[in-house]
Each structure stands twice: as structure tokens, then as C-alpha cells.
Structure 1
Amino acid sequence: MSEQSTLLLKRQLKELSKNPVEGFSAGLVDDDNIFEWEIVIMGPQDTLYEGGFFRAIMTFPPDYPLMPPKLKFTTEMYHPNVYPNGEVCISILHPPGEDKYGYEQASERWSPVHTVETILVSVISMLSSPNDESPANIEAAKELRENYPSFKKKVQRLARRSADEF
């Protein structure tokens, strides 16, 4: 499987290099490792994250695309769907099949049809519309609901800092 995964990832990287997608850039952390990509997501316009440049690492398993990659922000991120350690928690990055907690439909979870592009478009969408129903960062979700001005100030400060560090 690993050889097929390598070929697929090389093809996706080549496609993104030839036809960049607005809102993010992607490349290899190390040219000798196709399974680890460095991602930069530009904070989406008209969101609290606007103007920010958020770095992340996307790590692909050897059995990709049967199993999803992991995406972890290396830039500090404050968002209900991002764990405090930076790991992104969205349905399409959850293993395929039924959710043992019954929260997600199997159709919402990972499917081999997803690509780096569809994953990152989903992450950009997540930044635009946080889901505070099933948070990875409980503190961020609570602050978003109960003290929006404070949440907004914190996120905008992080976006400015990320732009300064970029």
C-alpha cells in the first residue's frame, strides 16, 4: 500500500504546485519524506482569523488514502475544533465507518475520495464557521458562546502575531 500512497501523494503535490488553490499553500517538510507536508493556511477573509498565516503539519499514514492524515497547527491556534496541542478535529479527518459515539454519520467521516485540497478547504471552512457543539477545545467553545468579545480579541491577537512571525 505504501508504494501506492507515495504515488498518490506525489501526484497530489504536483497538482497543487501546478494549480495552487487560494487560501493555502502546501509543500514537503523534507524532500525525502512524501508523508509529511508543511501547510500554510491564510486566515479566511471576513473571519476573526483574517490576515493570519497559520502553519501546520499534515502527516499521512502509510495506508493513505484508506485512512486519513492528521493535521496539526504549529502556529498557536485558538478555535473550538482545534485541540490545545494544535491537532485539528473535523469529521473528514476521523477514521472511516460508524462513529462509536453516534455523533457523526459514516458519510461525514473520512473517505478515500478526499485529497489534500478537499481537506484544507474543509479546514478553511472550519475557521469560518466553528462548531461549538462537539468541541476539541472546550475552553474556546465556552468562550465563543459565553464571552464572544473576549474570544474575538484572543483570536485576532493570534492572527496578528502569526502574520508578524511569518
Structure 2
Amino acid sequence: METRYNLKSPAVKRLMKEAAELKDPTDHYHAQPLEDNLFEWHFTVRGPPDSDFDGGVYHGRIVLPPEYPMKPPSIILLTANGRFEVGKKICLSISGHHPETWQPSWSIRTALLAIIGFMPTKGEGAIGSLDYTPEERRALAKKSQDFYCEGCGSLMKEALLPLTSGSASSEAADKEAKELARQISFKAEVNSSRKSAEPTDLSQYNHLVSSPKHQQESTTPAFQSTSTNEVSENQANSATSSQESNPQPVANNTSVSPRHRRAQQGRVPTSTNFNQVQQPRVNASHMGSNVLILLLVLALAALIFRRIYLANEYVFEL
């Protein structure tokens, strides 16, 4: 039964184009989709020369997501090789285990060259990686030529073109595979270091946002109708109270436990407490005004009594 695909789908267009480009096998790699599933490919790659895999021919599957090429494929080896675990999705910077390093410009051919380039590298405990001895890998390389895939009917002895030693195409393919593996590995290390730095930066940002000083500054635009002197005075008082309640820099709080940080923040006066602190200053200003008014009234009364006294004294003299 023939499977029908949406020819307007970007993934279908891309895969059909790549299938046409990889139709003819080379002396280093070959890949084609299954007859009944465009999103599952079977591939064959030759082991890199001057390595423990020299002389080996390895077969595997590539499972592509419907969002390809925006999302990476999953790669599974079917031939025992001593570097990648058989029947398990291998962890490469170009596979589905690392979507953050995938680039839509990469293709299935890129994945094939990356597999060849990564084979001589160390597994270092990655998912689906093995660290067999050189002797075991050489024995598996010889045995791999007898492998037959029942899924696609490929025999490893006939899957690739005969290798021509010293040919320009072979040397170019080997060089491209090594360079690609180096670039992808370097990119994965850079992205991994950036990813590990994100939680620290985020915790610092969250601490700054949750601090009372930041909340006071964020609400300043809502009070633009007040005078310039009042705004400056409030900001100065806010800065002074923040320094007195938390004398240590903000950067040092990132190493403090969450419980201790919450305890420190609990001692910082809230907006309600801040208004209560400012209230005595307002009462003091009112008290000063009342005292001044009382003194003026007393002075005025003294002038009136003095005027009356002088008037009475003048009458008695007459």
C-alpha cells in the first residue's frame, strides 16, 4: 500500500530532496528512506581510516521528527561496533538528545559525516556510548562486513562503493568528517557552558526583583505628580534604610541559603513600616508649626496688653 504525504509540508519537501541527493552510494556513506516510511531512513557508513574502525562497514537507522529540519533526528546503530550501543539512540550534538545544538541547515548527509567523525572519539559516559578496547573494535570491524539488514535488505559487503585508497574524494570525505566532528563538539561545549551559567544569572535576577529596594524603585513612576524635592528625599531615605537593614552587597546573597535569604528579607521594613517610620517626621513638622503659632499669639497678646497699659497711664497723667 502506497503511503501518501502532504507535498506542501516543509519536512516532506526537504526529505524528498535529500533522498534524491543521496540516491547513489559513495565509498564512505549511503542513506535512503524506507519504501513505506519517508521519516525513517537506513544508512551505511564506512569506518574512518587509521582508526580502530578501519575496514568496518556499519549500518543503522535515522528516525526523523515531523518538524524536521527544525528539530534533529534520532540515530540508532544496528551493527556492533564497540563505540555506539546497538539498538539505542546515541547521544551526539547532532542528534535528538541535544536539540539546543541542532541547526536547520544541517542534513542527513551532515549526520552521516558526523557519525564517521565521532567514531574515533572517546565515549566519556555519554548515552549510548561504549569504550571497547582497540582489539575488540578491530574484531567487530571485520565482522561488520557480514551484517545483513532484514529491514531494508542491505548487505554490508555491497552497500558502499569499493574504497579507492588515496583518491581525492576519499581524502576530502575523511577531512570533512573530522572537521565537522570538531566543530560540532566545540559548539556543544560552548552551549553547555552557557546553559550551566543561566541558573546563577536567573537567581541573581530573581533576588533583585524580590528585594524591597527594587520594588520601591519600580513604583516610582506612579508618583510622578509629587515635587522633585519630595521624590529625592524619599529615594534618599529608601536607600539609607536599605543600607542599614542589609549592609552586605546583593551579589553575596546568591551564596546564602533560601531560608537565610528569606529571613534577611523579613527584617527589611515593608512599605507599611516605611510609612510608619516617616510618620514621626511629619508629626514633628506639625508640632513645630503649632509652637510657632502659639508664640505669635502670645506676642500679639503682649502687644495688646502693653498698648492698653500705656493708654491707661496716659489718662491718669491727665
The TM-score bracket by the shorter chain reads: 0.7 to 0.9
Deviation at 1:83, TM superposition (A): 3.8
The equivalent of 2:230 in structure 1 is none
2:138 counterpart SS class: helix
Aligned to 2:127: 136
Task: Indicate how the Cα distance of structure 1 residues 38 and 85 shifts in structure 2: closer, same or farther if over 3 A, else same.
Answer: closer
Following superposition, the deviation at residue 21 of structure 1 comes to: 4.9
Q: How many residues align?
A: 140
Structure 2 gaps of 5+ residues are 1-5, 148-155, 157-318
Q: TM-score, normalised by structure 1?
A: 0.74
List aligned pairs for 1:25-104, cutoff 5 A.
25-29=30-34, 31-79=35-83, 82-83=84-85, 85-93=87-95, 94-97=97-100
- CA distance in 2 between counterparts of 1:34 and 1:137 reads 25
1:164 paired to 2:155: no
More strand by share: 1
Aligned-pair identity in percent equals 26
Alignment root-mean-square deviation, CA: 2.1
Q: CA offsets per residue over residues 104-146 of structure 1, 9 Å max, x none? A: xxxxx11111101111111110013x134453357x34x5xxx
TM-score by length of 2: 0.41
For the pair shown, the structure with the greater C-alpha radius of gyration is 2
Q: Measured at CA, do residues 118 and 21 of structure 1 come closer, stay the same or move farther in structure 2, by a change above 3 Å?
A: farther
Q: Is the 8 A contact 2:79 2:86 kept in 1?
A: no
Q: Hey, which of these two has a bigger chunk of helix by percent?
A: 2
CA offset at residue 17 of structure 1? 2.0
1:10, 1:56 → 2: CA distance?
20
Measure the CA separation in 2 of the matches of 1:49 and 1:124: 10
RCO greater where, 1 or 2, for CA within 8 Å and sep 6 or more?
A: 1
Distance 1:26 1:7, change over 3 A: same
Q: 1:14 to 1:68 in 2, by over 3 A?
A: same
